[in-house]
Structures are given as C-alpha cells and as structure tokens.
A and B are shown apart, each in its own frame.
Chain A
C-alpha cells in the first residue's frame, strides 16, 4: 500500500471525489470527499475541505469536514480541524485546535458498573422533567444515577420491617403517610445529588 503513495503536492488542488485502496499524502488541497481503504496524511501546509472515510488519518494542517476512520485519527500539534470525528482511536496532540464532536463508538464495556448506570437511568426516567433535560450529557452523567439506585432499594426494605409486625393495618396507614414525605425527601436528595 505504501509502496507508491499517492501524493498531492503543494500547488495542486483536487476537487471532487477520491476513491481507492492505497495511502494518500496531501501537501496541496483537496475539496470534496475521500473514500479510501488506506491512510491519509495531511501536511502542515495542506488544506482539506472534504468528508473522509479512511483507515487512518493524520492531520498536521487544516481539515474541514467529517471524518470516519476504521482505525485511528490523529490531530498533530499544528492541526486545525473543524468537523466530527468518528474512530475507535482518536488522538489529539497538545496544541491542536479542534472544534466538533468525537465519537469513539461503543465504549460502554469499558465503564465499570455500566449496567447499573443503565438500570438507574431507567428508573430515573420516571421523573420526566429530569430525564428530558438530560439526554445530551447522558454519558458523562451515567455514573451519577448509581447513588440514586440504593435509595429506592431502601424504601422496600423499610416497608418490609413494619409489614413483618403483627398489627398491620394501623401502622401501615401511619407508615404510609410519613413514608410519602420520606420518599419525597429521598427524591429531593436524589435530585440534589444528580444536579
């Protein structure tokens, strides 16, 4: 693949669609799109205004466009990039200037207690206002629902204690009334924790 790399030298502008199965080095300019089963290198003085679908991308220059890489995207210190990046590995060096969204794909398996976080999420969706205000930072907030989870777990435990006592009806009513504020308090506590 790298035997005779395709090179776009400085002073050359390629506009349109580029396809292929080898590496490309850009020292000039590319406008349009690049769909490649290979690697793309964007030199410090190069400018790429294109959507990219490649294996690996290394940017030292200017790139405007969305990138999907099957392996890695690296923004070097001199890179100036605007656009969304999607790749299993995204490396941003100190000094690189970048604006956009990065998607490294399914990272759930690497978050400890991820399953709990999801369960907590499902329960917290009962309070609609909160869940609706949440979807965007959901990943960052994922660990937070966990403290909320033991709270509902305690409630049935407390209920079980008075329920085990012989005189059920009266204490049950008495319990129910204070329990509601208790539950409300717990919810409020949970709210504070979440916020």
Chain B
C-alpha cells in the first residue's frame, strides 16, 4: 500500500502531517495537514481541521477543510464545517452544513 491508512478501529488524537496520501477508515481528532489527497471513507469519523491538496469525503467530517485543488463530498458523506477550495463537488445525497469559499476573484 502506497497510502497511509488509518484503519477502522484506530483512533488518533493529535496531528497528522506529511506529503503522502492519507486514507482514513477510523477516527482522527485534531489536525491533518498533507500535501496530498485525503480520503475519508465510509467508516471514518474526522473531528479535525484538514489542509490537503484534495479531500474526498464518504464518511463524517466535523471541521474546516482547506484544499489546494478540490473537495468532494460524496453521496454518503456528511460534513459540518467550512470549506475553502477552488473546486467543490457535493453529490446528491450528501449532507453539508457550513460555508463554502471558492476564492472567487471578482
């Protein structure tokens, strides 16, 4: 596996930083700062602020997200928090509460 994986039963209370892709299946509380993609899978719970290149959400996220390229909230994704990213996709069925900032230049 090339990605960092946080497995189903794992709970991380703290900070994850680095320059590799991250797959979260478990729980992360705190902060995630990566220069790569973050995948929040079905079983995952994030109570964290996320800085990443792109974020894909199928699980539950509580926290603010800042992405370099895109944020995608999939059909089974649930998110509460603010999103800042040039591209934001919210699928039909996704739950979202918060502000969106696409950094539009007028």
Which residues of A does B touch, CB under 8 Å?
4-22, 24, 28, 32
Contacts of B5 in A (CB 8 A): 4-7
Given contacts A6-B7, A18-B12, A24-B10, contact A12 B22 (CB under 8 A): yes
Interface residue? B101 (CB, 8 A): no
Nearest CB in chain A: distance from B46 CB, A? 14
Which residues of B does A touch, CB under 8 Å?
1-20, 22, 25-26, 30, 34
Complex contact A6–B15 (CB within 8 A)? no
Given contacts A12-B20, A13-B18, A20-B26, contact A5 B7 (CB under 8 A): yes
Complex contact A10–B20 (CB within 8 A)? yes
Q: Is the interface of B mostly helix, strand, loop or mixed?
A: strand
Contacts of B6 in A (CB 8 A): 6
Contacts of A17 in B (CB 8 A): 11-14
Nearest CB in chain B: distance from A36 CB, A? 8
A8 closest partner in B (C-beta): B4
Complex contact B11–A20 (CB within 8 A)? yes
Contacts of B9 in A (CB 8 A): 20-22
Q: How far is the CA of A4 from the CA of B41 in the complex (A)?
A: 13
Given contacts A20-B10, A22-B8, A22-B9, contact A9 B2 (CB under 8 A): yes
Contact partner of A22 among B7, B16, B17, CB < 8 A? B7
Complex contact B20–A6 (CB within 8 A)? no
Contacts of B20 in A (CB 8 A): 9-12, 28
Contacts of A11 in B (CB 8 A): 18-20
Complex contact A19–B4 (CB within 8 A)? no
Contacts of B3 in A (CB 8 A): 7, 9
Complex contact A16–B34 (CB within 8 A)? no
Complex contact A4–B8 (CB within 8 A)? yes
B26 closest partner in A (C-beta): A20
Beyond the given pairs A11-B20, A24-B7, 6 more chain A to chain B contacts, judged by CB atoms under 8 angstroms and listed by A's residue number, are A9-B2, A9-B18, A16-B12, A18-B11, A18-B14, A20-B10
Complex contact A9–B11 (CB within 8 A)? no
A36 closest partner in B (C-beta): B10
Contacts of A21 in B (CB 8 A): 9
Q: How far is the CA of A165 from the CA of B22 in the complex (A)?
A: 91
Q: How far is the CA of A12 from the CA of B12 in the complex (A)?
A: 14
Contacts of A14 in B (CB 8 A): 12, 14-16
Complex contact B16–A13 (CB within 8 A)? yes
Complex contact B15–A15 (CB within 8 A)? yes
* Top 10 A-B pairs, shortest CB-CB distance: A16-B14, A12-B18, A20-B10, A6-B7, A21-B9, A17-B13, A20-B9, A19-B11, A9-B4, A11-B20
Contacts of A16 in B (CB 8 A): 12-15, 30
